[in-house]
Amino acid sequence: MSESVIRLSGVTYRAGRDFAIQNLSLAVPRGAVYGFLGPNGSGKTTTIRLLLGMLRADAGRIDVLGHRVPEEIHRALGRIGYVPERGHLWPHLTIEQTLATHAAFFATWDATRAEELRRRFDLRLSQRISALSKGENGKLMMLLALATQPELLVLDEPTDGLDPVVRRDVLATLVEYVATTQASVLISSHLVHEQERICDWVGVMDRGALIAEVPMQEFRSGIKRLRVGNVPAVVDAAPFALLSREMGVGRAETWVVRGWQATHAEWISAQGGALRDVESLDLEESFVELLRSGRPTEGTR
């Protein structure tokens, strides 16, 4: 992996009696759009708060833009554009006052870009924050993040609850910014289909643990659904990971596997099996299968 703009190593944090981040190691390569995927409650927002210095880890190390967190986070924050899961703007201010307030805190504030984005997003300077719709608030949060000209964007569910038109506008603006600046992005979401279009790396979080971290293309192409006849008696030595298996008619089964390569068909044949079909899964199906395989079945712990 290339130089990382975010690196977590062995990070542990107990958020309560029933949930903890567990020995988390994660790396976001410089210049990557890293999709941080996971169901609600998996630990994505807690991880983001840890790497931004809002929470202090119980153990492990966190580095962001070459600075140790939380001790040196103040050295990195001016280079980060952040869109939180929930808006944090002062409701009594207008958009004009909000832009002026943010401009005062960032030496890198680009007033020309801010005005361009305001017009593109059709936001009126006189609008009060308290009167904004969810879509307008989402567009304003992205505007504020991009107008600081960040080299790293940390986006926590930036399109959650937005209608399709607003989601498209927000994501298109993000992609345009990354293409022109080569900024790095960590974008957290449970909307898997959106990440498939814009991300080149993917990390999957579940129950406080990172269960996958690979280039998007590898993740998308490496999980397959196989239909196998004459199923081998023993599959423990398979060159791929068997995520799930379902019984079919006779000795036929349907397998979902991770790490599949075309040459693995030879292994199945060598065990006396018959590979009848290989089906590619989209990102959402792969995501669901990966989560399902990592959870205990009913009646187990």
**102-135: buried (b, 16+ CB within 10 Å) or exposed (e) per residue?**
bbeebeebeeeebeebbeebebeeebebeebeeb
pLDDT at 297: 54
CA–CA separation, 107 and 86 (whole Å): 25
CB atoms within 10 A of CB 36: 31
| C-beta of residue 226 within 8 angstroms of C-beta of residue 254 | yes
pLDDT 10s digits, 80-135: 999 998 878 999 999 999 999 999 999 999 999 999 999 999 999 999 999 999 99
Is the sign of the CA dihedral 145, 146, 148, 149 positive or negative?
A: positive
Count of residues making up the chain = 301
148 vs 256: CA distance, rounded Å: 44
Q: What is the pTM of this model?
A: 0.89
- Ramachandran assignment for 49, one of left (phi > 0), alpha (psi -120 to 50 degrees), beta (any other): alpha
Residues in the chain predicted with pLDDT less than 50, given as ranges, are 1, 298-301
Domains of the chain: 4-207 (3.40.50.300), 219-293 (3.30.70)
